[in-house]
Structure 1
Amino acid sequence: MRRIGVLTSGGDAPGMNAAIRAVVRYAIYRNIEVLGIKKGYKGLIENDIKHMDLSSVADIIHRGGTILGTDRCEEFKTEEGFNKALDNIRYRDIDGIIVIGGDGSFQGARKLSLAGIPTIGIPGTIDNDLAYTEYTLGFNTALNTILDSISKIRDTSSSHERTNIIEVMGRNCGDLALYSGLAGGAEVVIIPEAPIDMDTICETIMRGKARGKKHSIIMLAEGSGNAYELKDAITNKFDVNIRCTVLGYIQRGGTPSAYDRLLGSRLGAKGAELLVGGTGNVVLGTKDNVIFNMDIDEALKIEKQFDYEAYELTKILSM
């Protein structure tokens, strides 16, 4: 390897900049040139690629988002768009690429691998929806952002004796709602993996009110419905004062936590180490706080295992 590329793709996640920084500095330490690919796979197609040096990644470890920018590129999925990307990879003499992103980004990395371009995938998504790894980059920060919001909302909910529905991200994976609900003391957690009927939701709220509880928190993953529609459904059942909060993109932004800075640094350095050493076509993950690598095809085949124990615990502790 003489020259490698790095890109961020899909939704941004806190800690991506820490990973970019580690890729660049580790590679330079090994006398390898690094090119930053802007706006994900779109940058490969448009040849929007820049040389990166030590200064280009100075003072970014604490910043959210990604300095390389990111995009979801449908053109890359087409034969014409993919061939443009390959032409630019060859034109730039890029020997291998590190892709930081989620499932869709890894599909693109797999496609490059099949075309003979060595790739390393670093899991970067706040949803924590990649089954092969315990944690993805950005999940910890997003979780803490949600917890901070729960604390603030609880204060005003208690003052006004309200129930508050907090809608968080998670279309197919409810980890953000589940773990923030458990850590934040929510009365009800509604996630795609464990559908719950309206009677159970209402009974839980009424049981709390009957024992003098002044407020209730309902955590709702976006993949399980809409906060305002849920509010209407509950108020149609019984008289209760409900407010809705949709956290939206506030979950993506902000200063990465210490955990995500460390994880991004470790994953970025390991990705560069493997690529420079001749290993490609793998993704990185963590298990028991140890970094490991796995064949990209095998990783993408693994199905996410739902944490039923944590879910049952939310119901027990919400009594």
Structure 2
Amino acid sequence: MTPNDELAIEVKGLVKRFGDVVAVDGIDLDIRRGECLGLLGPNGAGKTTTVEILEGLQQATSGEVKLLGLRWETHERELRQRIGLTLQETRLVDLLTVEEMVRLFASFYPRSLDVETLIGMVQLGEKRHARVGKLSGGQKQRLALALGLAGDPDVLFLDEPTTGLDPQSRRSLWDVVAQLKARGRTVVLTTHYMDEAEVLCDRLVIIDHGRVIARGSPREIIASLGAEQVIELEATPVPDLERLRSLPSVVAAQRHADRMTLRVRELHLALPSVLREVESGGGELRHLSTRRPTLDDVFIGLTGRSLREGEEEKAA
């Protein structure tokens, strides 16, 4: 167990109800100082509600929450000065320039980062005199990050910060998170992007239906699948799922539309058996690929559906 003085956030038995709906159902978290913890889960899993309680934006129905050894009930003002946050959508003042917006937010904190530093961290130097209303979506998201960093926070909450960003902007944000970790700051990140979670997060907590269903480092969670490779194939007619599951070295097999996904321990044993199974059924192989397991495979294995389904619903 991590000593309390090493913890940035402690959560015990967190519950949040909205009428008869239980959004958060007994979550425990220990988040160490200087680490990036990723909260993963589909829309409606309870992760955003959990983060909003940690940020002091919502009150828990029950449970204990401590940030930096302090409680929202008794130290709200101090905590507001020591945390930063970037929401899924931030309302900005369109008529202000980027520099004016950053300077305004920096003025709210007794310990603020230099305006030049903030603008440079999110690579908006060329847009410093541009009005916020003229910025692209990605530039506004980077500006929102600068505002979240204005008070040089000990804990930074990033709620799906790269949704809608172009690849270059996403990488820029990743660099900012790496800088924060290097300075001993704590980052709590929610995301639907598996590559983002694997690159940035020291540890992950996977939430579904308001409960923690897995936790550990990305490597540990992927290893929990018990599979070294994933085979993806499409064949006509579609092979029988139960027969595929019974093949040598196959850990699990699932079907998504016309594509079959098999998690296997030893590829050299499983692949020939899979090909023989397709051939014996008179099938025509239309696609075949192999790859290493990912966090999305973990989520499918735990819940039977892809984490990206939540992202697609959000975009619809």
Is TM-score (shorter-chain normalized) higher than 0.5? no
Which is richer in helix?
Answer: 1
Which is richer in strand?
Answer: 2
TM-score by length of 1: 0.29
TM-score by length of 2: 0.30
Bigger relative contact order (CA 8 A; separation at least 6) = 1
